Structure 1
């Protein structure tokens, strides 16, 4: 997203430009851009990434009501998340009304009387979507908490997968040793190896050899943001933000899931 990249180096100029440019609704374009940006944060991902983490199967408690496959730590996501951090920091530090006066959709509201929401009901308009309305800085803060949650979940999943892989590799090595001993015994009788008997060997490769690793985009690798550990960055940012006088006003807009995310990184109040 072009505005996310510009925020890193020309924030003041970008804000001034968007405030003076009329948007589709007649209001300043800044409002339109921020509504679209925060509403589509979950869609920012890249096809190239040497450090890409596993996709998360489902995301619970997101502020945009979306459930999506999300390649964590892609360059676009990293750039967007850090840009949102800078915008939030700027808005709070300078009390910039251009940001504070913008309102956006917050959490989706569900009523017990509505029963189970289905696609058919939504298509027929029987269950209209309802959302809270919150100030833009609050929305950005909630998005950052949710981004950290997704990244932490993905990291935990990768660690678990790595542990399982090591155990499987150890088991396979032991199994290969036993197979080799059996093959040696069979060779004395038949003069053939198992690979010859079953027609495998030359030209056969394991799955990890069949697929080349995705080439890294040279431009992405050169970008300083490529080197940023987004999990560490977001953790430190949120920990610092929790020490600001305005933090209590932001915390009261968090749901239980978001509060648990903060507790997991030492933010308890």
Structure 2
């Protein structure tokens, strides 16, 4: 609470007091609440300190080792999912603020993320891990083939490689991902992957549409005997359909570029908030009991922060340049138009696999 939105000198003071202890909690604790709070604290240290964080302790290598050790523990496939719940926000801060240091460890990071995905049953954690991979897709531009080749060289238990495992999971979960920032990054990353025309993508089949049963009402007992059946379709066709769905959702909500983020995620962007609002009343003499005032101020700040349901959007939209660079409605419109004009045979092939409502919205875009 004190770290968020604080000036660098306040962040450094807190860093000097407890950074090593927070790392120690992540490395040693098995308490889910402690792990979650410590992870958020580390993410805020990185967000507030950025590159300066590495020299505050006098040994940049030691600080970086602590940060990487913490990431490794949080991505441990044997850890309970609740303990790892906020790891994605932490890792994204590492990628955004310490890019040159993290570039040395991307292969190990991707391998750890894939292992964590395979052992995780909690949707929120799995979708946040997909967000990490999506952000790495963007980091690999202009040569997104680098990311695909990295995935092809990364192992995944029970699968030929990480790409074969991740893409069916990603496309299956994409429609359930929540939050403006997450939707923007993951949707545009799928488009970037499709734009590579990489030969390995078309070799992967993923979950398509639910096969409707003609057996009448499905009771609970019938559902157990006859689980849901899905069609299987080529990955490029699925990505193309998901991009169409994203454009449909934007149009149905009546969003323009200015409204996009605010509709999907109503968060406070008050840049004057944070620790200054807490500390200011403490410096003002008062005739009433100061301890009560201070506690009330702290409690109010905590409640305001606790009401925010989307930590990624709150923290990452402020620092990730993608949030300003990409207006999703324009991005998707330009994407479909460019594909139609530069590779009409591929466009026609993918277009014919769309549902009627998807064809309608994509057709309207290219015929404008």
TM-score between both structures, scaled by the size of structure 1? 0.60
Larger helix proportion of the pair: 2
- In structure 2, relative to structure 1, the CA distance for the partners of 1:6 and 1:235 (3 Å cut) is same
Match of 2:336 among 235, 238, 241: 238
Greater Rg over alpha carbons, structure: 1
Q: State whether structure 2 residue 137 is matched by structure 1 residue 4.
A: no
Deviations 1:98-137 (A, max 9, x none): 21211111122224x3324x462553324x3222211111
Q: Which residue of 2 aligns with 1:221?
A: 318
TM-score between both structures, scaled by the size of structure 2? 0.45
* Unaligned runs of at least 5 residues, structure 2: 1-130, 260-303
Q: State whether structure 2 residue 228 is matched by structure 1 residue 115.
A: no
**8 Å CA contact retained: 1:220, 1:226:** yes
Please give the alpha-carbon distance, in whole angstroms, between the structure 1 residues aligned to 2:195 and 2:219: 39
Please give the alpha-carbon distance, in whole angstroms, between the structure 1 residues aligned to 2:191 and 2:222: 34
- In structure 2, relative to structure 1, the CA distance for the partners of 1:9 and 1:156 (3 Å cut) is closer
- Deviation (angstroms), 1:225: 1.7
4+ residue stretches of structure 1 with deviation over 6 A? none
SS at match of 1:106: strand
Match of 1:83 among 189, 194, 209: 189
For 1:81-230, list aligned pairs within 5 A. Answer: 81-91=187-197, 96-111=198-213, 113-116=214-217, 118=218, 120=220, 123-126=223-226, 128-155=227-254, 217-227=314-324, 228-230=326-328
Q: State whether structure 2 residue 354 is matched by structure 1 residue 248.
A: no
* Unaligned runs of at least 5 residues, structure 1: 47-73, 160-210
Greater RCO structure (CA 8 Å; 6+ sep): 1
Please give the alpha-carbon distance, in whole angstroms, between the structure 2 residues aligned to 1:119 and 1:259: 34
- Deviation (angstroms), 1:253: 0.7
- In structure 2, relative to structure 1, the CA distance for the partners of 1:146 and 1:119 (3 Å cut) is farther
